[in-house]
């Protein structure tokens, strides 16, 4: 009996050991497959792609780096990878290997007709999307009072889509060996790309909601690039968070001046088609997988996938792309991939963002450009806003930011560099020192900036170097400016010029001192002597330098010599609010027959004068809420797009007898400019202007309204108004422009492939002159038979009848040109009006 029991226990122990050994055997027989999935056209990782065994329901998805790893107890003979927008790939695998690495290069797929799916009732994705929109305010990071985080950014700019013709040029042959080396890193079926710039940075990003402020402090940078010279300016751009802080919880995702409808915005149902997939575990969150496609692929919308948490209905991951079908110029593809992380108070912040823009080749024999950006964030702190003045300097670079030491970066990076990144760094070093490459870079810099740089002095702008007109003959001009290499505070500018016909030297010299970049406090002195035109002076034309340069060609009517001296001081007292004070003295010496009455109350008995001198003080306040800048040496460049009204108020006070001034006067002007989205109907902008002077002055000192007799459209001018046709001492005007951004033409067969954009304009102007001002100029020039005043009247508008004109046209013709027709609707019997005018312009935009 005892022996039987003993044998029974021995049998049980043996059986247990056998089961354990079999389990160990099976565990040891488990297969491991890992690899990396990249885009064959650019080498960029493909996050969230599905990888699995053919014939079995086993697999995984790639992480944000395009990497995957999964374990399986069984293998089939092949492995597949698939993702929206790419061709499915299949590769054979070795069933005898326990551990193997399989990489995939995926080729973008042409859009095919979607399968028609008929639901018995409502699309099940709609119920999920309604909850996402309903819960949006709980998850949107803009609901936080403030947030900040540490950030690592890697940015790369490549040349891609290299044609055979271009590869046979001299510059390409010079770097042929380097290109071949990099081609091997692109994958067995990848396309060659040439990196020209790569950078990485460690930064700290800060955001405050009210008042809305943001700031990025660059702590360390590592920059290598062909033609990169100004490390200070480039260092501000490499942070990335100022330009790639995309938020899909907003109705529109803006970049490059365009607004792309979010797939979880208010109009989600009108813009997209949705397909509900399986639930997926994403970093511990069980998520719905939703595919989304545009209803009209030519609209400014995305295609891709997103993952929504099944419990909170928060956006956990998104992969959104825009292909070349969209109504965009010069773009092959835009792609945004983003992972979000939940922080305190329920909001979700971007933990990792990958941005790619593939710019197409401009001509058949050229090449394209590829911009890739990767941002990884950690250390989130929320609802602890800094003092408002902390955000004054939007982008700040630490004094010791430049850190090329490889040992530092080995530990500072959040993830190690890929093999491709390492090759890119090496290739840039070999390319940037080639003489032919440096020559091409210099030519590109001159074309973009208009200046030729000589270390600390830049010569230009070349746009204004030559003109031909009736008064000066051939006009030649040479200008210069200093940059931050010359001095970080002192700024010098100047130019000299002369005409071959009048032989009168013209010149300008300016000295500025920059006290503070944080408050942008600057003071300066300027003196100039040059020829100008009534109503077409720089202060009236504004920043349109191309139009100003063009006005110096041709007949040059209304010309006068102006000698001017100016002292100014400007400061930004708080973010978005700046004040400027100026003191000027100007002369007006006309080159046409011009006179005004000194005592208009005496009528024809009044003495007259054909020139004048004015001395005045100007006080200006400018409010631009939310406007952000980055510094380019001793200059600053705005990053804002004026989506909130920019308001400028100006007061001028003239003094008679002071520095030879001939008039006491006051002038008040107010101007507001804004661009805004009109839902799905496109984007509008308007300029609202008002002016008033209670003083009695000659017509050129009132408000000459800007006419346009050229064939070129100018936004600030009245297209059917002649030069100097109307002048007011009080006025209000509204200039409105709307771009439908393909809304109409996108839906017309055949035409929609041209990517035209319908545009419309309308200008209204109410103005008048008091009798006292009209009497100053009344009949005084008639006896002189002035040809100028026969053509240009300085007339007054009827205060009860507005000047009105409307326009319409086509934008984006050959991706570059705009044609507009304008109709004059009032003052049809005034002089020789242009009731209809057809105008053209060059309009570069994406």
Average the pLDDT over each of 367-381, 608-622, 664-678 and give the range with the smallest value. 367-381
> Does one domain contain both 629 and 752?
yes
CA angle 314, 318, 324 (to 5 degrees): 145
Share of the chain above pLDDT 90, in %: 34
Per-residue confidence (pLDDT) for residue 328, from 0 to 100: 77
CA proximity to 633, closest of 441, 451, 456, 403: 456
Buried/exposed code over 170-202 (b: 16+ C-beta within 10 A; e: otherwise):
eebeebeebbeebeebbbeebbbbbbbbbbbbb
> Does one domain contain both 636 and 725?
yes
Using the 3D structure, point to which of 413, 442, 471 is the last residue of a domain. 442
> Does one domain contain both 64 and 154?
no
> Does one domain contain both 51 and 167?
no
> Does one domain contain both 96 and 141?
no
User: In this structure, how many other beta carbons lie within 10 angstroms of the beta carbon of residue 16?
Assistant: 10
> Does one domain contain both 8 and 82?
yes
Residue 41 within a domain: yes
pLDDT band at residue 132, thresholds of 50, 70 and 90? very high
Residue 88 within a domain: yes
Residue 526 within a domain: no
pLDDT band at residue 415, thresholds of 50, 70 and 90? confident
Decide if 572 contacts 520 (C-beta within 8 A): yes
Residue predicted with more confidence, 846 or 741: 741
Helix (H, G, I), strand (E, B) or coil at 360: coil
Helix (H, G, I), strand (E, B) or coil at 782: helix
56: containing domain: 2-106
Are β-strands 303-309 and 608-609 bridged in parallel, bridged antiparallel, or unpaired?
A: unpaired
Torsion, CA 699, CA 701, CA 705, CA 706, rounded to 10:
120
Per-residue confidence (pLDDT) for residue 570, from 0 to 100: 96
> Does one domain contain both 79 and 15?
yes
The three-state (H, E, C) secondary structure of 740-758, written as one string? CCCCCHHHCCCHHHHCCEE
Residue 487 within a domain: no
> Does one domain contain both 84 and 137?
no
pLDDT band at residue 10, thresholds of 50, 70 and 90? low
For the residues 594-613, what does the mean pLDDT come to? 87
> Does one domain contain both 145 and 92?
no
pLDDT band at residue 6, thresholds of 50, 70 and 90? very low
For the residues 627-637, what does the mean pLDDT come to? 74
CA separation for the pair 508, 512 (Å, rounded): 13
Residue predicted with more confidence, 646 or 325: 646
Q: At residue 25, does pLDDT exceed 60?
A: no
Q: At residue 184, does pLDDT exceed 70?
A: no
Average the pLDDT over each of 38-42, 226-230, 789-793 and give the range with the smallest value. 789-793
Per-residue confidence (pLDDT) for residue 830, from 0 to 100: 83
Residue 547 within a domain: no
Using the 3D structure, point to which of 90, 106, 122 is the last residue of a domain. 106
Residue 159 within a domain: yes
Per-residue confidence (pLDDT) for residue 16, from 0 to 100: 52
For the residues 418-432, what does the mean pLDDT come to? 74
Residue 701 within a domain: yes
Average the pLDDT over each of 322-326, 425-429, 811-815 and give the range with the smallest value. 425-429
Buried/exposed code over 777-808 (b: 16+ C-beta within 10 A; e: otherwise):
beebbeeeebebbebbbbbbbeeeebbbbbbe
For the residues 373-378, what does the mean pLDDT come to? 92
> Does one domain contain both 297 and 370?
yes
The CATH number covering residue 749 comes to 2.40.160.50
Q: At residue 794, does pLDDT exceed 90?
A: no
Per-residue confidence (pLDDT) for residue 580, from 0 to 100: 97
Write out pLDDT tens, residues 676-703.
888 778 889 999 999 999 999 998 899 9
Write out pLDDT tens, residues 507-516.
999 999 999 8
Q: Look up the pTM and report it.
A: 0.73
> Does one domain contain both 168 and 101?
no
The CATH number covering residue 71 comes to 2.60.40.1120
For the residues 527-532, what does the mean pLDDT come to? 94
Residue predicted with more confidence, 431 or 740: 740
Residue predicted with more confidence, 453 or 162: 453
Retrieve residue 601's tokens: 């109350």
For the residues 711-739, what does the mean pLDDT come to? 90
Decide if 520 contacts 503 (C-beta within 8 A): no
Structural domains in the chain (count): 3
> Does one domain contain both 568 and 673?
yes
Residue 553 within a domain: no
For the residues 529-536, what does the mean pLDDT come to? 86
Write out pLDDT tens, residues 54-72.
877 777 888 877 888 888 8
30-44, 88-102, 180-194, 555-569 — most confident range: 555-569
Per-residue confidence (pLDDT) for residue 533, from 0 to 100: 85
Using the 3D structure, point to which of 442, 457, 488 is the last residue of a domain. 442
For the residues 606-624, what does the mean pLDDT come to? 93
Write out pLDDT tens, residues 327-366.
777 788 888 999 999 998 889 999 999 988 887 766 666 6
């Amino acid at each position: 009996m005892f022996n039987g029991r003993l044998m029974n226990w021995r049998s049980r122990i043996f059986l247990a050991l056998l089961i354990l050994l079999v389990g160990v055997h099976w565990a040891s027989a488990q297969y491991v497959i890992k690899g990396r999935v990249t885009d064959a056209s650019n080498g960029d990782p493909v996050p969230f792609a599905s990888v699995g065994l053919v014939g079995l329901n086993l697999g995984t998805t790639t992480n944000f780096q395009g990497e995957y790893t999964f374990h399986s107890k069984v293998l089939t003979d092949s492995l597949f990878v698939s993702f929206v927008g790419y061709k499915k790939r299949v590769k054979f695998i070795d069933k005898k290997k326990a551990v193997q690495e399989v990489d995939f290069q995926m080729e973008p797929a042409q859009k095919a007709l979607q399968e028609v799916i008929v639901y018995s009732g409502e699309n099940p994705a709609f119920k999920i999307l309604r909850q996402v929109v309903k819960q949006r305010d709980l998850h949107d990071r803009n609901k936080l009072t403030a947030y900040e985080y540490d950030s690592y950014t890697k940015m790369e700019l490549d040349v891609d889509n290299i044609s055979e013709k271009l590869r046979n040029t001299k510059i390409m042959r010079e770097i042929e060996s380097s290109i071949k080396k990099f081609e091997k890193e692109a994958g067995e079926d990848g396309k060659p790309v040439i990196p020209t710039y790569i950078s990485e940075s460690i930064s700290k990003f800060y955001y405050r909601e009210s008042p809305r402020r943001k700031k990025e402090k660059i702590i360390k940078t590592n920059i290598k690039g062909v033609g990169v010279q100004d490390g200070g300016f480039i260092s501000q751009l490499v942070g990335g968070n100022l330009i790639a802080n995309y938020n899909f919880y907003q109705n529109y995702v803006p970049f490059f001046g365009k607004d792309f409808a979010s797939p979880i915005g208010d109009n989600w149902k009108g813009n997209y088609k949705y397909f509900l997939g399986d639930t997926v575990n994403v970093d511990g969150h069980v998520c719905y997988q939703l595919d989304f496609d545009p209803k009209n692929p030519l609209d400014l919308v995305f295609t891709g996938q997103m993952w929504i948490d099944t419990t909170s209905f928060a956006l956990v991951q998104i992969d959104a792309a825009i292909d070349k079908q969209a109504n965009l110029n010069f773009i092959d593809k835009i792609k945004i991939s983003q992972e979000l992380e939940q922080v305190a108070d329920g909001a979700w912040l971007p933990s990792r963002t990958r941005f790619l823009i593939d710019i197409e080749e401009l001509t058949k024999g050229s090449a394209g450009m590829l911009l890739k950006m990767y941002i990884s964030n950690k250390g989130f702190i929320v609802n602890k806003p800094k003092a408002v003045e902390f955000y004054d300097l939007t982008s700040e670079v630490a004094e010791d930011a430049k850190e090329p030491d490889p040992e530092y970066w080995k530990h500072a990076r959040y993830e190690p560099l890929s093999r491709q990144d390492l090759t890119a760094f090496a290739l840039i070093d070999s390319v940037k020192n080639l003489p032919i490459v440096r020559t091409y870079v210099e030519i590109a810099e001159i074309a973009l900036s208009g200046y030729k740089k000589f270390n600390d002095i830049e010569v230009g702008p070349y746009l204004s170097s030559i003109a031909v007109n009736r008064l000066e003959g051939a006009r030649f001009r040479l200008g210069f400016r200093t940059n931050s290499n010359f001095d970080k505070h002192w700024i010098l500018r100047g130019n000299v010029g002369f005409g071959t016909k009048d032989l009168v030297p013209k010149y300008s010299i300016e000295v500025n001192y920059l006290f503070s970049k944080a408050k942008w406090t600057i003071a300066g002195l300027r003196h100039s002597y040059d020829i100008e035109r009534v109503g077409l002076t720089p202060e009236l034309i504004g920043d349109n330098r191309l139009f100003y340069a063009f006005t110096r060609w041709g007949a040059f009517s209304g010309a006068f010599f102006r000698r001017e001296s100016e002292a100014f001081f400007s400061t930004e007292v708080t973010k978005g609010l700046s004040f400027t004070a100026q003191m000027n003295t100007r002369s007006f010496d006309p080159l046409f027959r011009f006179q005004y009455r000194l005592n208009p109350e005496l009528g024809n008995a009044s003495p007259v004068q054909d020139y004048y001198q004015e001395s005045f003080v100007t006080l200006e306040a400018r409010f631009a809420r939310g406007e952000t800048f980055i510094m380019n040496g001793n200059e600053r460049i705005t990053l804002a797009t004026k989506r909130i009204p920019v308001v400028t108020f100006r007061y001028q006070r003239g003094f008679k007898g002071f520095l030879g001034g001939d008039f006491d006067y006051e002038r008040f002007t107010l101007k507001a400019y804004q661009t805004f989205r009109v839902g799905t109907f496109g984007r509008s902008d308007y300029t609202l202007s008002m002016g008033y002077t209670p003083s009695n002055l000659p017509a050129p000192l009132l408000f000459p309204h800007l006419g346009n007799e050229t064939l070129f459209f100018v936004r600030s001018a009245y297209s059917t108004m002649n030069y100097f046709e109307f002048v007011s001492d009080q006025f209000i005007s509204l200039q409105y422009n709307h771009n439908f951004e393909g809304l109409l033409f996108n839906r017309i067969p055949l035409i929609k492939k041209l990517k035209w954009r319908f545009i419309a304009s309308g200008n209204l102007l109410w103005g008048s002159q008091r009798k006292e001002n009209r009497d100053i100029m009344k009949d005084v020039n008639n006896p002189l038979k002035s040809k100028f005043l026969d053509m240009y009247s300085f007339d007054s508008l009827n205060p009860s009848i507005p000047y009105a004109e409307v326009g319409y046209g086509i934008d984006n013709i050959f991706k570059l040109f705009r044609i507009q027709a304008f109709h004059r609707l009032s003052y049809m019997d005034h002089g020789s009006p242009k009731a209809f005018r057809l105008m053209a312009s060059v309009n570069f935009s994406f």
